[in-house]
Structure 1
Amino acid sequence: MPQNNTLKGNHANSELTGEEWPQSKASKTISQDLASLQWRPGPLGRAISSGSLLGTKAFHDDHAELDTKPGTRVYHRRWLMLFLFSSVSASNAFMWLQYDVISNIFMNFYNIGSLAIDWLSMIYLLTYIPLILPVLWLLDNRGIRDVVLVGSAFNCIGAWIKIGSASPNMFPVTFFGQCVCSVATVFVLGFPSYLASVWFGEDEVSTACSIGVLGNQNISGNSRG
């Protein structure tokens, strides 16, 4: 009897058509794969299969790679750069209000009126308006290094021109030197925030920006006082 059942089963399998045999083999393979999955309780009491664990791990790994952002690389010389920038800004602020502080002496020295002395400081404000857009374009295309170097050069040249105009009949030369220094203001006055964002990390931007602004504003406030 067992032999007949075995033969009958073998005979039944042999009667499968060419289309039914691959389907039967595929069903058997799927059944074996489902049976091989080992289910075990998850952290919240729910059943998690090994396949689900692999998928979850891959999902978290992908998101970890997406969420990982490279940090800003900072250098120790960033504080030196900030000090140099603040020094240039402070020097330019000296040039701005040096005539207003002792205006009566310069009025007697050059034999001019108070309006001429006022124009020596107001020229800084007038120069800033037409030149700020070209300087911003230069900043985007050349970088902060070239912008600060050009501003420092204008500041130095203007200072030497004013030194050479220390004569009672050379007030026009003094005014020209003051105009050159006013051009330097456009290159250094508005860039502490840009310097802080380029050279410093996220937790140091506000501090660096405050120090950069302090170089100009502190000198200006003391000069007016």
Structure 2
Amino acid sequence: MKWQQIPLGTLQTNCYIVENSQRSCLIFDPGSEGKKLIHLLNQRKLTPCAIFLTHAHFDHIGAVNEVRDTYKIPVYIHKKEEKWLSDPALNGSQLFMFQDSIRVSPADHIIKNEGPMEINDFTFSVFHTPGHSPGSVSYYFEKERFVISGDALFQGSIGRTDLPGGNQSQLIKSIHDKLLALPEETYVLSGHGPVTAIGDEMDSNPFLNGF
């Protein structure tokens, strides 16, 4: 199984494609540029199985409808942000995008609990990691040694907490309890910027000093 990072849109939000040996794939956070993403998937002859969202901010959901409609696949999101998809005031597009407010059709599946998840041949765990937003989740692929953290943890930084529902102390707790508890060699696939590793962030992230 392997993954690919695809920065999309003005904010270069990282979309991730996780594929298996049968060339099936999962799509995480298709934030923008749906046609570009679809072209890439078709060019590589990948068959998408589902879309998983780390959270429902506008820069992570902008291409959801286009990609879902193209491949007829389900969308997963945490229950605390299911209403954000269709509400520009909640997903931030009303504030940041003005006339281009984003409204996404309801998700097909609502994530209500943490724990293992299996879809087709993909097996991973879901962690609720709130703080950047109330329904932020991270997806941990233990065997493959990587976690898709959304905007919770970045290389040398953490997610902003000044948007609706943000809470810095809650975010620090989420990172400490859920992410820093993973093996140090675990790769962190963040929502923006380069890939990092749990051990590197434990050693050098200034926001996590003291842990």
TM-score between the two structures when normalised by the length of structure 2: 0.23
Higher strand proportion:
2
Higher helix proportion:
1
TM-score between the two structures when normalised by the length of structure 1: 0.22
Q: Which has the larger radius of gyration?
A: 1
